[in-house]
Amino acid sequence: MYKILRYSFYDLIRSKWCYIYFSFYLILSSVLLFLNNSLAKSIITLMNIIVILTPLIGSIFGAMYYYSSKEFAELLLAQPIKRNTVFLGQYIGLSLSLSASLVVGLAIPFIAYGMLISSEITNFISVIIIGVVLTFIFTAISYYIALSNEDKIKGIGLAILFWLLMAVIYDGFFLICLLALKEYPLENFSLFSVLLNPIDLSRILIILKLDIAALLGYTGAVFQGFFGKKIGMLIIASVLAFWIIIPIIMINIKSKKRDF
């Protein structure tokens, strides 16, 4: 699997999309630092952008990469290797190259601004880790969606729809539920609903880490009150890990059954 991963990574890291994605983060973080003129504030703004944007990019690239490398995957599948080696190798290669653009693009301006000698370094690292984790989650889900749909337009459409559901619609639906059921105790319901959305989970994790739970209002307060900071973060981290593992298992199962 390592061989496939390495070559997929080489292929992608040289593509123009990777450079565009990298330049975008480079410009974004430079502009944020320039406008906020403070590391702490820039990190909070950065978090708000990253929890929405990395899932979108992961969703689009996961599906697109699967379709564009389909014929090459067929050539690899005819070699003496297992099917899941090919797909996992490609998936990890893609996620790693997207993560590399993200990490390097964000780190350069922040390091230049003097982050390494400031107290904000751990907060910055947690924002970056969340960005990488979200990239792995949404790339896996969209890769799985592409693997399950022969039609390219349908596959990319569904992947973006899933992102829209998690990033936008879910919150609205969640709010409506809270309003409609406001007569009842909602702590457990809201805790459970948050676990089902990796974007919300990541946001809460960073907010807990940055000690600004009040910003999140109800859910953040419930989370902090219910679990306390450390256990809350641990639970979120393990649920996020499940969000990566489950789509990977699904990719494995699907790749065994499919015809190419």
Q: Which stretch binds other proteins (CB under 8 A): 23-31, 101-109, 165-173, 252-260?
A: 252-260
Candidates 81, 100, 108, 239: give the one binding other proteins (CB under 8 A). Answer: 81
Spell out the alpha helix ranges (H) of 116-197.
121-148, 152-164, 170-180, 187-195
Instruction: State yes or no: residue 151 binds other proteins (CB under 8 A).
Output: no
DSSP per-residue letters across 192-243 = HHHHT-HHHHHHHHHHHHHT-GGGGTHHHHHHHHHH-HHHHHHHHHHHHHHH
User: Which residue lies nearer to other proteins by CB, 3 or 229?
Assistant: 3
Residue 22 CB, nearest distance to other proteins (Å)? Answer: 15
Question: Binding of other proteins at residue 10 (CB under 8 A)?
Answer: yes
Q: Which of 31, 71, 215, 221 binds other proteins (CB under 8 A)?
A: 71
Q: How far is the CB of 154 from other proteins (least distance, A)?
A: 16
Tally of residues, the chain? 260
Alpha-carbon distance of 138 to 161, in angstroms, equals: 12
Gap between the Cα atoms of 251 and 260, Å rounded: 14
Q: Residue 68, interface with other proteins (CB under 8 A)?
A: yes
CB nearer to other proteins: give 4 or 140: 4
Task: Report residue 218 as tokens.
Answer: 């109800």
**183 contacts other proteins (rule: CB under 8 A):** no
Distance of CA 140 to the CA centre of its chain: 9
Q: Does 100 bind other proteins (CB under 8 A)?
A: no
Task: Give how many residues touch other proteins by CB under 8 A.
Answer: 27
User: Residue 123 to residues 46, 52, 142, 195, 223: CA-CA distances in angstroms?
Assistant: 11, 18, 29, 22, 19
Applying CB under 8 A, which of residues 20, 75, 112, 245 lies at the interface with other proteins? Answer: 75
By CB under 8 A, tell whether 8 contacts other proteins: yes
Q: Which residues bind other proteins (CB under 8 A)?
A: 3-4, 7-8, 10-12, 14-15, 68-72, 74-83, 257, 259-260
